[in-house]
């Protein structure tokens, strides 16, 4: 195992490799697009590669083929001694809006559970690869970055947000749970911001992302072509050199007065409680006392979410605070199988139907209230899989899991 070095903020450790000084880096620009993988394009020069998520009409929603292709490319680039670092961006107005939940919805309704499980195995395995990658990784988060889009970027070394970035983990509003490593990175955010984001699905902009640490850098989107050009000229595997380039073209910003980050004190006071019921009660009291628009909006978001998902999500974030990336992904995989099989509740399909397929925005949650969500229902999400159901297999022996 190559020696690792901590780069950037809080918990993500990344590799600093020593490239042979006599290595011949070509600066020639090449396009490596394979027509069989047109949903993932590749650009690069002799020292770097840029993976481009290319489903703009679907906001670059990730499917199994895209994730498998990315995994194949990334492994080959990691093994290539002439490539110093790797980048990722999305085409169009999104980085990636998440996984292709509409495709999953139709697969579940057709009874094709194996294809659903293959998607999640492929997704979580690639996210673990990003989180343990031995070369610096730069994700350019220009546009919508949600769910799985965050999962393929936030575990990496550098995440550059812009004035067009929109981040969220909105899974509780489709009867699911924040997955794709969300229970890992949300749980490490300051105070109880992770619980707030997980339970409300509220959005953060690029300024808020870099302020709380979800992003490492911020720049105006108009600067991105120049940033890409300058990164493309680098002949390095040194994270500090890449970081210096990102900082040189970055912008110093602060969240405005309407930001949730200006309400951390009341957020922590309400979201520190042990149960969802106590959190809702605290928000109701705050909304009643202050008549504050943010408190009222937060309370409404909590009441719109699937009650079972709220309880599952809260426990997931709390457990993630004491687990490594691989432990979080393994647990999330078990939780995901419970959600898609629908034996405890059919909330996932109902949520996707109501918000994405039929768009009537009137999901009929089961159970319909927090009071009807039993402890046993929640506990089942966290149980080991049956002996006949294989667990998620991650290469933890060959790729170090980070604290």
Q: How many residues does the chain have?
A: 403
CA-CA distance, 267 to 271, in Å (whole number)? Answer: 6
Q: What is the dihedral of CA 336, 342, 346, 348, to 10 degrees?
A: 20
Phi, psi (degrees; rounded to nearest 5) at 136: -55, 140
Residues 6+ apart with CB under 8 A from 2: 15, 17, 134
How far is it, in rounded angstroms, from Cα 340 to Cα 113?
Answer: 8
User: How many helices (H) and strands (E) in the chain?
Assistant: 16, 13
Mean pLDDT, all residues of the chain:
91
Query: Residues with Cβ < 8 Å from 11, sequence gap 6 or more?
Result: 185, 188, 402, 403
269, 350, 271, 266: which is closest to 308 by C-alpha? 350
* Span 170-214, pLDDT tens digits: 999 999 999 999 999 999 999 999 999 999 999 999 999 999 999
Q: Which residues are catalytic?
A: 99, 148, 171, 179
Q: Is 13 helix (H, G, I), strand (E, B) or coil?
A: strand
Q: What is the pLDDT of residue 402?
A: 55
Report pLDDT digits (tens) over 237-250. 999 999 999 999 99
Q: Cis omega before residue 14 (within 30°)? A: no
d(CA 67, CA 123): 6
Asked if the model's pLDDT at residue 20 lies above 50, the reply is: no
Q: How far apart are CA 7 and CA 135, in angstroms?
A: 11
Average pLDDT of the segment spanning 324-329 = 96
Cβ neighbours, 10 Å, residue 103: 17
Domain spans in the chain, listed from the N-terminal domain onward: 40-381
Distance CA 311, CA 365 (A): 13
- What CATH number matches the domain at 40-381, 3.30.750.80, 3.40.50.720, 3.90.226.10, 1.20.120.1200? 3.90.226.10
Closest CA relative to residue 73, chosen from 62, 61, 87, 60: 87
């Amino acid at each position: 195992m190559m020696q690792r070095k901590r780069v950037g903020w809080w918990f993500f450790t990344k590799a600093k490799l020593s490239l042979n000084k006599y290595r011949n880096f070509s600066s020639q620009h090449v396009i490596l697009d394979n027509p069989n993988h047109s949903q993932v394009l590749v650009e690069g020069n002799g020292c770097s590669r840029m993976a481009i998520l290319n489903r703009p009409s679907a906001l670059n929603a990730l499917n199994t083929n895209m994730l498998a292709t990315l995994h194949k490319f990334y492994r080959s680039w990691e093994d290539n001694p002439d490539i110093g670092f790797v980048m990722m961006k999305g085409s169009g107005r999104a980085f990636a809006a998440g996984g292709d939940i509409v495709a999953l919805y139709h697969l579940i309704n057709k009874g094709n559970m194996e294809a659903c499980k293959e998607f999640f195995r492929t997704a979580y395995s690639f996210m673990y690869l990003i989180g343990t990658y031995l070369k610096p990784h730069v994700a350019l988060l220009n546009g919508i970055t949600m769910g799985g889009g965050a999962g393929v970027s936030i575990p990496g070394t550098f995440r550059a947000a812009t004035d067009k970035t929109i981040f969220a983990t909105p899974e509780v509003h489709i009867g699911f749970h924040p997955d794709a490593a969300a229970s890992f990175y949300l749980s490490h955010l300051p105070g109880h911001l992770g619980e707030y984001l997980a339970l409300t699905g509220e959005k953060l902009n690029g300024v808020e992302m870099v302020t709380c640490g979800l992003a490492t850098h911020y720049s105006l989107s108009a600067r991105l072509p120049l940033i890409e050009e300058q990164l493309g000229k680098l002949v390095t595997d040194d994270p500090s050199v890449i970081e210096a380039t990102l900082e040189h073209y970055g912008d110093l910003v602060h969240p405005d007065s309407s930001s949730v980050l200006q309400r951390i004190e009341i957020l922590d006071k309400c979201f520190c409680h042990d149960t969802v019921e106590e959190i809702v009660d605290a928000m109701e009291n705050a909304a009643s006392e202050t008549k504050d628009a943010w408190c009222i909006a937060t309370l409404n978001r909590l009441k719109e979410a699937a009650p079972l998902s709220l309880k599952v999500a809260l426990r997931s974030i709390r457990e993630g605070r004491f687990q490594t990336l691989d432990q979080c992904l393994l647990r999330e995989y078990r939780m995901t199988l419970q959600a898609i099989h629908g034996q405890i509740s059919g909330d996932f399909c109902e949520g996707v139907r109501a918000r994405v397929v039929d768009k009537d925005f009137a999901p009929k949650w089961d159970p319909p209230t927090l009071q009807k969500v039993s402890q046993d229902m929640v506990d089942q999400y966290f149980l080991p899989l049956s002996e006949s159901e294989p667990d998620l297999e991650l290469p933890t022996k060959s790729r170090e899991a980070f604290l």
